[in-house]
Structure 1
Amino acid sequence: MVTTLAAMAKNLVTLSCSIEYFRLHFSSYSLKLLTMNRDFPPPNLDTMPINALREILSNLNIIERSVLRKVNRTLREAVDNNHTTVDVEFDFCDDYITLTLDGIMIEYSNDDENKCQILDYQKPKIVDSDYVEFAKKDFGIHLKNPNTRIKNLKLQWEYSEDLFYKLLHILETFFDEITQNGGSGFSVETLELGENGGNKIARLLRLIDVNTITSLIISCDQFPVEEEEEFINVPQWERIRDFRVFGNVEHPYTIINALGNVSSFSIDQLNNNVDLTSQMVLLFILLVSGTLNYLQSTNNFFSNFQSFWELQTWKNNFSRLKSSSSFSQRSTHFGKCGS
């Protein structure tokens, strides 16, 4: 099936390249003369102008490009050298892996004979390979290509320590290859993680190119985010402009205190803690106004913040907002002025 698809893809590309070749390099009169000359050899993949190939590749989706790069070396180099963007989701489970590219999901698992079974947009197929290694290979095509910019990279591993370290090993292997070739990490704009542990978040965040990361999304519906100080102290955090949490945060003040470069953030709390939300609003206002920097210079500001909050008359004013729409919603969004 793959061979047939590859042959069809090759024929289609040859035909498309022929048309593009003539369109770009000959006038209508020259084209007429060429079509009359039966001895004129038809253009082939090895002699196609690179501009013609780029024109075609720019109109193909990620799966079509993946098929074309398997046809021959010429097309593989053309695909890999073509600048493109893609959304990638990698879900590592106990007995299968799903790799989603621009919304198209591919599932890898073991069959009865311990071979890799692949379920994707085509018919199921069996490959004589370990399913983890096969998924790793397909995953690496996009992570290691310096010409591919990943708009959104979503990583999940079912809150399993074993699966996390397996995934981390895969990613660190790719990372080492990239840095050995002069790169700075994965070209990812938004990193989305299904994790609550600050140490794990930090280890994954460090693998992203500091020059490409702009957004961090944390989803933790089972446990609150903890060890926040681990990931807010990595260099990549300084480049983040958009920070979102779906779940609860163990020490929100630690995060809010480190939002100096973040232009907007949101926290989707599971328990709709209005009192906590009000405190975060106050801290954010102090941060934007510059007052927070002054208050931090005083001794034990954050350790005494709860008592400070309880003593203030404006706490009651915030409490009156419970019935308003801005505080009755579970998701509360904050943005700096002018962002």
Structure 2
Amino acid sequence: MIRFECDYLEGAPVQVIEAIAKANMEQNAGYGEDTHCEHAKELIRHVCDAPEAKVAFLVGGTQTNLTVIASALKSYQGVIAPQTAHINNHETGAIEATGHKVLSIPTDTGKLTGEQIREVCRQYWNDTHALHIVQPGMVYISQTTEIGTLYSRREIEEIYTVCREYHVLLFIDGARLGYGIESPESDLKLNDFPKLCDVFTIGGTKQGALFGEAVVILDETLKQEFSYHVKQRGGLLAKGWLLGVQFETLFADGLYMKLAKHAADLAVKLHQGFASSGFSFYVDHLTNQQLPILTQEQAKKLGEKYSFDYFADLNNGSFVCRFCTSWATQEENVEALLTDIKKI
């Protein structure tokens, strides 16, 4: 079985494994207070061109999202997000379990617009009964989105302008940030994000680490006591050096973006292959989550050799299927898939 259903199927590149093995018998301080974590943070601040940023390492994506959101919001506030957002659909109510409501907005593209956010905030602050309603305190977007679409620089700038207008924080979930940046459709680089939001994440789990996410905090208030929230939410790893070594390796010589480009290049090849074979897409884009539309017979036939996600059912009986590329995707497997889809 050749697997394409997600982008976290494999462990980590050999460079990361070798670095962990090399550090294995070192005696490192606990809870991220080690030289590897400090070096990794400096590397991230350097590539992001954000010398004043606070960088923190957590274990997983859901844990990271709920920790960032819960630490930023007051008890009566909620977070604005697209209806398709990961925090709204794929985190088992984790945000609500922190006591905060996800204020979801319908969207066909997986993206929010500045005008949609302005309307939510305007309605709240103009409502006679605002005291009785959950107050917007943060906006959550992801790059890439849950359906693989990308925000442009202009779109995020417009969102951030509205956020500052209404004094709400902007949080960008970057679980697939590298894959988005390396897409040929992107006009953003890593060092753009500190200028466009209050806090963002750099994904490791899906992009070359065994596990781990890096949180980059620009907002001064959020920086102050974030570490306490990490500990309280169970995100403070005793052997924190394991996270430090991984991000140190990924960012020491550009490995992170090299791995991301590999996935992005194969995503383009996958997209072109499906398109040239006559398949249409749920959303047409060039990021690492490709969403071709298959009939039941086509999906069944491909399922004999390949695994992929059944992303959504369509009214005509067809399926939206998700095929992901990653840092570890083998080009020969993509070629085999493209050869086989021509036969179905």
TM-score bin, normalised by smaller chain:
under 0.3
Report 1 or 2 for greater relative contact order, CA contacts < 8 Å, sequence distance ≥ 6.
2
TM-score normalised by structure 1 residue count: 0.24
Q: Which has the larger radius of gyration?
A: 1
TM-score normalised by structure 2 residue count: 0.24
